[in-house]
Amino acid sequence: MKKGILLALLLAIACNPIPKPTRAQLKWQEMEMNMFCHFGPNTFSGAEWGSGKEAEDLFNPTDLDCRQWAATAKAAGFGGILITAKHHDGFCLWPNPESTHTVAQSSWRDGKGDVLKELSDACREYGIKFGVYISPWDRNDPRYGTPDYNQAYARTLESVHDGRYGDIFEHWFDGACGEGPGGKRQEYDWSLFTGTVRRLQPSAIMFSDVGPDCRWVGNERGYAGETNWSTLSPEGFTPGAGAPPNDTLNCGNVHGTHWIPAEADVSIRPGWFWKESETPKIKSVDQLMDIYFGSVGRNAVLLLNVPPDTRGRIPEADSIRLMEFKARRDSIFGKEATDRFNIVCLREDISRGQRVAEFAVDAFVQGEWTEIAQGTTIGYKRLIKVPTVNSDKVRVRVIKSFGKPRLGKTSIYYAQD
Ligand code: FUL
């Protein structure tokens, strides 16, 4: 190889090191599971997407208790709560000076209520983190569809992120827009939006289809791809209609240019907002466990929606299910197996990037090593179910890796039935 070419190659490698998580992204990944709370006028109307024309008085929780949300989330093992501070209908759960469609215009608590204040205080009290979803698509704001809306939305962001609610661990930029062919078109100023959040809350993880800090997993069922790279190449894409295909979001891009790990969002009920009629359809513990293996167990963070009801409380049935889900996880992962196992947990030290592209797991059974599993990516955590093995010796063979593989702790567990 010519000297010049070699130098160019070395320079290229030095200038393009593999993407690595920031400290905030690492901490976020370690949270593993957060609780999503869809709450707003839709809770009272039964709609999933409000029109934006709902009377402010529709929002009228009879017994709001954000401490109960936080206590429930904490007991269920969630690291934080993320609330729909503003859904597509535009109604703001805090007195947003930018809007005339907020709690301040409602008769709830004589217009003096502030759900974000109560929830952020409760999260602090219970030692969990607080995050917000503020929908860019707004069916109420008359400025939507004009450049003025971008400025208004940025000021809306400021009114939540300026510190009055303390630290915010995650901000959700939902990409949905259902305006349809003849509807309003908004050219979003994404760099203004992300710049505003970054300036005011430098450690907040910003979610959208394409990051900048974490990405949508490509479905609303709570499952990441079996191959799941925490890297993505977002260049040329935007959230919403301009997003990469769902299967790309589901698996990430091998050699992606940026560290944008997957977040898997799913609701414990069929819908995102509470509806009495859906109480019999709360997901079973088996379904939740399958989602857990398909998200946290595939290198994603799980965002499980548990919607408060018209009282403003997490319903008893959902809360009981969460405790059962926690008990099942504890019974499996509370103690490592010593002589018999059916779950293997692999980890990569992702602080140096994600490297493993193919691996196999062997167990030492009756005097010899036998292959019991194989797969592609590992990432922060990879859970693999295997037929029950009588052994306490396991080895991991890295078959393909981009750079030197750096595995974390490998553990084995036993799940009954
Ligand atoms: C979607 C929204 O349109 C749904 O209403 C819900 O909020 C879900 C989490 O994101 O894009």
Please say whether the beta carbons of 378 and 349 come within 8 A: no
> Quick one: which atom of ligand 1 is closest to the CA of 48?
5
Residue 260, domain member (yes or no) = yes
Asked if 275 and 312 sit in the same domain, the reply is yes
pLDDT at 11 over 70: no
CA of 270 to the centre of ligand 1 (A): 12
CA of 84 to the centre of ligand 1 (A): 10
Among 239, 243, 166, CA closest to 200: 166
Tokens of 232: 């993505």
Residue ID of nearest Cα to ligand 1 atom 8: 272
Q: For position 347, which CATH number holds?
A: 2.60.120.260
Tokens of 120: 């952020």
- Of 15-19, 221-225, 362-366, 377-381, which range is least confident? 15-19
CA of 188 to the centre of ligand 1 (A): 18
pLDDT, tens digit (0-9, with 9 covering 90-100), for 245-259: 999 999 999 999 999
**Dist CA 274 CA 56 (whole Å):** 18
Residue 158, domain member (yes or no) = yes
Residue 293, domain member (yes or no) = yes
13 pLDDT band (50/70/90 cuts)?
low
Mutate to test the pocket of ligand 1, among 215, 272, 304 (most ligand atoms within 8 A of CB): 272
Q: What is the average pLDDT value for the chain, to the nearest integer?
A: 96
Residue 12, domain member (yes or no) = no
Residue that finishes a domain, picked among 333, 348, 373: 333
Residue 2, domain member (yes or no) = no
Please say whether the beta carbons of 309 and 278 come within 8 A: no
Please say whether the beta carbons of 101 and 90 come within 8 A: yes
Which residue stretches of 81-170 are H helix?
Answer: 115-126, 147-161
Ligand 1 within 6 A of 349 CB?
A: no
Q: What is the pLDDT of residue 108?
A: 98
Q: Which residue's structure tokens are 């469609």?
A: 101
Q: What is the pLDDT of residue 6?
A: 66
Residue that finishes a domain, picked among 272, 307, 333: 333
Please say whether the beta carbons of 298 and 226 come within 8 A: yes
Asked if 313 and 392 sit in the same domain, the reply is no
Q: For position 87, which CATH number holds?
A: 3.20.20.80
Q: How far is CA 136 from the centre of its chain?
A: 18
Residue ID of nearest Cα to ligand 1 atom 6: 272
Please say whether the beta carbons of 52 and 5 come within 8 A: no
pLDDT at 15 over 60: no
Task: Count how many domains the chain has.
Answer: 2
pLDDT at 213 over 90: yes
Mean pLDDT value across residues 39-65: 98
Residue that finishes a domain, picked among 294, 313, 333: 333
Ligand 1 within 6 A of 173 CB?
A: no
Give me Rg for the CA atoms of the chain: 23
Asked if 76 and 208 sit in the same domain, the reply is yes
CA of 242 to the centre of ligand 1 (A): 17
Q: How far is CA 124 from the centre of its chain?
A: 20
Strand 340-346 and strand 258-259: pairing? unpaired
Asked if 254 and 399 sit in the same domain, the reply is no
Mean pLDDT value across residues 226-249: 97
Asked if 258 and 351 sit in the same domain, the reply is no
Asked if 345 and 307 sit in the same domain, the reply is no
Asked if 352 and 220 sit in the same domain, the reply is no
Residue 7, domain member (yes or no) = no
Residue ID of nearest Cα to ligand 1 atom 10: 174
pLDDT at 208 over 90: yes
17 pLDDT band (50/70/90 cuts)?
confident
Q: What is the pLDDT of residue 174?
A: 96
Provide the residue range defining the domain that includes 397.
Answer: 340-413
Residue 4, domain member (yes or no) = no
Asked if 382 and 239 sit in the same domain, the reply is no
pTM of model > 0.85: yes
Q: What is the pLDDT of residue 407?
A: 98
pLDDT at 360 over 90: yes
Q: What is the pLDDT of residue 226?
A: 98
Asked if 179 and 308 sit in the same domain, the reply is yes
Q: What is the pLDDT of residue 377?
A: 98
pLDDT, tens digit (0-9, with 9 covering 90-100), for 287-318: 999 999 999 999 999 999 999 999 999 999 99
Ligand 1 within 6 A of 89 CB?
A: no
Mutate to test the pocket of ligand 1, among 220, 269, 302 (most ligand atoms within 8 A of CB): 220
Q: Which residue's structure tokens are 């983190």?
A: 129
Asked if 162 and 186 sit in the same domain, the reply is yes
pLDDT, tens digit (0-9, with 9 covering 90-100), for 66-106: 999 999 999 999 999 999 999 999 999 999 999 999 999 99
Residue 244, domain member (yes or no) = yes
Among 37, 377, 77, 51, CA closest to 227: 377
> Quick one: which atom of ligand 1 is closest to the CA of 265?
9
User: Looking at the chain, how many residues does it have?
Assistant: 417
Asked if 352 and 285 sit in the same domain, the reply is no
The number of CA neighbours under 13 Å toward the Cβ of 131 is: 27
Asked if 352 and 212 sit in the same domain, the reply is no
Q: What is the pLDDT of residue 12?
A: 55
CA angle 209, 210, 212 (to 5 degrees): 125
pLDDT at 325 over 90: yes
Tokens of 186: 């908004």
